[in-house]
Amino acid sequence: MRQAVFGRRKRKVFGKIEEPIKIPNLIHIQLDSYRWFVEEGILQVLQKYSPIVSQPHKGDLKKGEKGFALEFISVRTGEPKHTPKECIDKGMTYSIPIYVTIRITDINTGEMKEEEVYFGYIPGMTERGTFVINGAERVVVNQLVRSPGLYFVLEEGKAGSKSMFIAHFLPVRGAWFEILLNPSKNILQARIDRGKRINLFLLLKALGFEKDFDLLKPFTVSVDTFTEADLSQYEGCTIIEGFEIDGEQVEPGTPLTHQLIEKLLSSNVESINLAHPVAQRTLENLVKNYGENLSTDEAYLSLFKRLKPNEIPRINAAKNYLYNLYFNEERFELSEVGRYKINKKLSTVYPEYLKKMGIDSEAQEYNVDTNVLTKEDIVLAAIHLLRVSEHPEELDTKDHLGNKRVRTVGELMQIEFERAFSRMHRLIQDKLTVQNTLDKISAQSLINARIMMTSIHQFFATSQLSQFMDQVNPLAELTHKRRLSAIGPGGLKREHARFEVRDVHHSHYGRMCPIETPEGANIGLITSLAAYATIDEYGFLITPYRKVENGRVTSEIYYLTADEEEDYNIAGAAVPLDEEGRIIPETVESRRRHNVQFVRREEVDFLAVSPKQIVSVSTSLIPFLEHDDANRALMGSNMQRQAVPLIKPEAPLVATGMEYTAAKDSGYVILAKHPGTVKYVSADTIVVERDDGAEDVYRLMKFVRTNQDTTINQRPIVSVGERVEKGDPLADGPATHMGELALGKNVLVAFMPWEG
């Protein structure tokens, strides 16, 4: 047992585990995401469309014909006109002005001018992570969506037909691209934009594989020549690398015949390199339908006839059609996240591919830096698909958190901003086109801020993800800001959500709470962020672990995504350690993927940082949670959010240590900004004289109405002359007591024995 201070109260701590890191600020995801949007997100969109060039009138620019280019240089925000409190009182929207620096260049003379223009108002986020829209506080909920990238899945066949292995490229914008392993013909096919299937090699021909032999090379398999059973299944496959047998040279490109198999069995050749049987059959199918050594142009025309049977096949039309589908950044976008996922997935087969193609390179990682598909993506995905068909355990699960990412406020606002700006972009271009001289152009007249403002305002007023804040008590508000929703634009529909989507998955550990979720139609679709979870730069949920080396816990903390933790043994936080951090028991219960097993202590890679790690804030307020049935804990977590703030709040006698953190981050407990001495206290004002002589004045909220008609009333908990340090609580808010969350009353239980 040890003593610890929570807020202004000393408590006895009976927990055996000292947590190595503090719980991060509970609303930092909202605050950081909005800050990113204002500082980087807006400029990212503007630079994507930059430069905007005026359209030449007749063909290209002729001498003497005017042409202008407009570029966006930087973005800054101004000061809001009103405070959030004024906006709530007057029924207004709390917003901040945006200013953009624009550079206009005369293409003929090279002359430039820079100007800062007003770009409109966008709703501002308050320091509590909320927005004030038309006088009401609203919250933008984080959305959990399928990440763009590359997925290897098994599609169940329709009644009576076999299941099919599929490599599925999922972009952020544009047509789907799928590679299928057809189970009936046993050949590789491509499915373009969910439409007709075509032979994969026909597509590769169009993309520049000239010779038929080149198509087989990436699909080489090495076969040991020991038994007839081994070799007979490869009969008819093309030999990729030549070899010598009984003094005779067998050239690459020769098919493996029955006679050659018999010779090999009696020879001393140990292994040979052949084309994969599936690749061989795919090529045979191509030759049967389209003839041998098809040229690139012929392949394009055959493709176009197959995909667009009603149009006249012209070579340029065919090339443009395919280019616009997958290789044009304006029509098809994988996004940074999608490209990162594809590179990561294909790195497993990349070194092997380089070897087969005879490319001498040290590269181990597949590292492509483009937002569209490449020829290599398609070939590598096909190689991986063949590998996955032989090892089905490598298939992807849709419900794994490594395949889902979080869209936070900033990203949702950026999507809306881009939608509006793509309309503005055309108007700017039209206005530039009619201008004659640089000095007559007013940059402000080119920008119509209303389009952007209307669009963003509409998002806050009507989007499913912009919600009227749940403000019954501080916990309800906090939970609302930490909510994850699978519903919404681009997400799931409630009616179509399968049972598997809603279920608890092993990858939720430390990232998403397995307990807190609604009981109705939304069960499992609306969840809550776990206490320690945060989001990485790509939007994937990460959770902290302590690194273990040779059975000893180090001081290093690693944040891992659900994908990264797959190959490690992870033990729980309650493992007994000695003074030096060594694990005491010789065998430890640990988790690897979804298997729980006992391993030697030297085999443990990571240790959880805290037992609270797996659950949300709400759930971690329940003492002795491990003794409760999960269904009842779910109800308890949800009902805490419905507790009305009392006139005399009372902190719990038995606490979990989360009460102070929750109250502090809710924004209703006033904290000292600097160390100093309390100089003045009244019901609505606290004055602290700082150590540097300046004064901090804190105004308290008195009987303010909340969204749910409960009341916010702050009460001072310090007295004049008292010394305070930075971060100390100065005043309690609704449902808090001495700086700790206090949702109910300590029930007095009387016990009467038989005899009275």
Q: Please tell me the CATH code under which domain 646-741 is placed.
A: 2.40.50.100
For residues 258-282, give the mean pLDDT. 84
Q: Is the confidence at residue 156, as pLDDT, over 50?
A: yes
Q: Is the confidence at residue 61, as pLDDT, over 50?
A: no
Copy the structure tokens of residue 659: 């009460």
Write down the architecture of domain 28-141+408-468 according to CATH: Alpha-Beta Complex (3.90)
- Mean pLDDT, the chain, rounded, equals 91
- Looking at per-residue confidence, does 690 or 108 come out higher? 690
For residues 174-195, give the mean pLDDT. 89
DSSP-derived pairing of the beta strands 52-53 and 9-13: unpaired
Q: Nearest-CA neighbor of 167 among 357, 348, 351, 406? A: 348
Half-sphere exposure in the Cβ direction for 481 (13 Å, CA): 30
Taking the alpha carbons of 610, 611, 612, 614 in that order, is the dihedral positive or negative?
Answer: positive
Q: Is the confidence at residue 209, as pLDDT, over 90?
A: no
The CATH homologous superfamily of the domain defined by 471-619: DNA-directed RNA polymerase, beta subunit, external 1 domain (2.30.150.10)
pLDDT-derived band of residue 65, with 50, 70 and 90 as boundaries? low
Taking the C-alpha atoms of residue 191 and residue 198, their distance in angstroms, rounded to an integer, is: 6
For residues 735-754, give the mean pLDDT. 91
pLDDT at 66: 64
pLDDT-derived band of residue 20, with 50, 70 and 90 as boundaries? very high
Residues above pLDDT 90, as percent of the chain: 63
Give the residue extent of every domain in the chain.
Answer: 28-141+408-468, 471-619, 646-741
- Looking at per-residue confidence, does 171 or 753 come out higher? 171
Taking the C-alpha atoms of residue 25 and residue 533, their distance in angstroms, rounded to an integer, is: 11
Write down the pTM of the prediction: 0.91
Taking the C-alpha atoms of residue 403 and residue 159, their distance in angstroms, rounded to an integer, is: 29
Q: Is the confidence at residue 298, as pLDDT, over 50?
A: yes
Cβ(500)–Cβ(403) below 8 Å: no
Cβ(657)–Cβ(15) below 8 Å: yes
Q: Is the confidence at residue 720, as pLDDT, over 80?
A: yes
Q: Which of 202-206, 349-353, 372-376 shows the lowest per-residue confidence on average (mean pLDDT)?
A: 349-353
How is 198-255 classified by DSSP, letter by letter? EEHHHHHHHTT--SHHHHHGGGEEEEE-S-HHHHHTTTTPBB-S-EEETTEEEPTT-B
DSSP-derived pairing of the beta strands 570-571 and 606-608: parallel
Taking the C-alpha atoms of residue 531 and residue 21, their distance in angstroms, rounded to an integer, is: 12
pLDDT-derived band of residue 256, with 50, 70 and 90 as boundaries? confident
Q: Is the confidence at residue 450, as pLDDT, over 70?
A: yes
pLDDT at 475: 97
Q: Is the confidence at residue 63, as pLDDT, over 70?
A: no
Q: Is the confidence at residue 133, as pLDDT, over 50?
A: yes
Q: Determine what percent of the chain falls in helix, strand and coil, rounding each to the nearest 5.
A: 30, 25, 40
